[in-house]
Structure 1
Amino acid sequence: MQVIRHNSERGQWEMAFAPPHPRLAGLVDTYIAYDERNTAFTRRHELPGLNAVMIVNLGDPITIVDTAGFVIPVGTGCGFAAGLSDAYAISESGGSQRGLQVMFTPQGARRFFRLPMQDLTNRVFLLSDLLGPAAALRLIEGLQAANDWETCFAWLDAAIAAHVASREAVDLAGIRNAGWALRQIAGRHGDVSIAALAGEVGCSRKHLAVLFREHVGLSPGTVAGLLRFRHALELIDEAQIDAVPAKWTDVALAAGYYDQAHFNRDFRRLTGCTPGDYLAARLQGQVGLPVG
């Protein structure tokens, strides 16, 4: 388990990151626990990526505005989940919050929630609506009873494994094919011919798009664009670690954008700000981007 603690004029927070149990490989990428107190920021842009998320709020009430524009109040002891999105969402708090976050792979979310991933795209839903009130309550009460983050992570391991095992198998062949194609796109940072990829899967480009809607939630082309964006963020982070000012044209070309104008348009759409504003706002350990 990796723990990051921060204490400054911008607030105090603790973030804990842990991998899932090996039996959940391919279903869950990581767990995140967070405890924030008196932060100077109350609004964040939650940036899009290739994980579906499930969050249980163990602290003060928060509000989520999903990518589609729906407002979802999340009270203490409530949970919610979101599929993949093609732009940022917004989270709002009173300056303090505490909870657990599961970073599902799209295939893991498909099996856990047993919904076509396109039904979750750009949306946020309460766990009681997705899992049913009884199942959501059991999951949340187990986390509320835990005394530390490690116990919370162990409970999530057990609860997710049991929930997946208790349900009939969905289209496992479709999940495997979509997952393989997704890994190919990810391994190339989105720099891939979708037509060629469909040929590698052994299907038409149209059928690959159907597979992705069902088991990922976004089209292969949109996924490739998100991977290009996430690669740009990695390059920016690496430049900051090396104390080298990011050169936006170099970042854009290295990440696979046509030019800096293409990069700037994509960056603003996906983050809600310019690359320079992103650099000024980002904070250590924060999953979202503080904006207000």
Structure 2
Amino acid sequence: MTDTQRSPGPFDLAGRTALVTGSSRGIGAALALALADAGATVVVHGRDAERAAAAAARIADGAGRQTFTETFDVTDAEQVDAGIGRIVETVGPLDILVNNAGLQRRAPITEFTDDDWNDLLATNVTSAFLLSRRVARDWIADTWRQPQRKIINIGSVQSRLGRAGIAPYSATKGAIAMLTRGLAADLAPHNIGVNALAPGYFATELTSALVADAEFSAWVAKRTPAGRWGELSDLAGPVVFLAAPASDFVQGQVLFVDGGMTAVV
């Protein structure tokens, strides 16, 4: 068998198209870059078109492949439908969906507002439901044989652990874990893989204030067996694994990338 005839490797994403929501910065941008490095054509998504375009340019530069952008409101079913339609028309059918879009709101539960609660639910949970439903409809309707398609939901250590001041956020990430399992039950018979990636405490631009807080950083180091904050590069291998043929018999799992935080008391 020649090189050109050899089957793709277990971590090869060449010829695959991936949408990563909320990927104009932070963890989402790192996930998009990892998929592009593994060979996927990536669609960068964000609410700000300029920021998304800048992130796509950086990813295209780093991975050496064409990268696309798309902007739509992930909490609005009509916009989700239209956005996915535009991607299919301009880039081609999707093979990988990473539901990464999310937000955080911190406050004691007695002071948490209805608006903040509803925003968290819409952005962190409803968006994953809407996007997964939309791509699943396309994928189930396909009648021709193809490699397994993948949905990867982004959870958190708060999918399993609670912490004061973020009870509503923890509730949304717990919901992501159960949505992942339910989607796997529905979609595995259609050769669609559904799993979740759950980061621990990662050093990003969005957590820079926490990283700079000496007391909080000391708590993270003490609470994490690995003794440090996560680096964005720590997520590259796990997301490629969940997106690639290597995980074709993995269904409904939550993969914690947290330096061991959820493994200990």
| Alignment TM-score, normalising by the size of structure 2 | 0.29
Higher strand fraction (1 or 2) = 1
| Alignment TM-score, normalising by the size of structure 1 | 0.27
Larger radius of gyration: 1
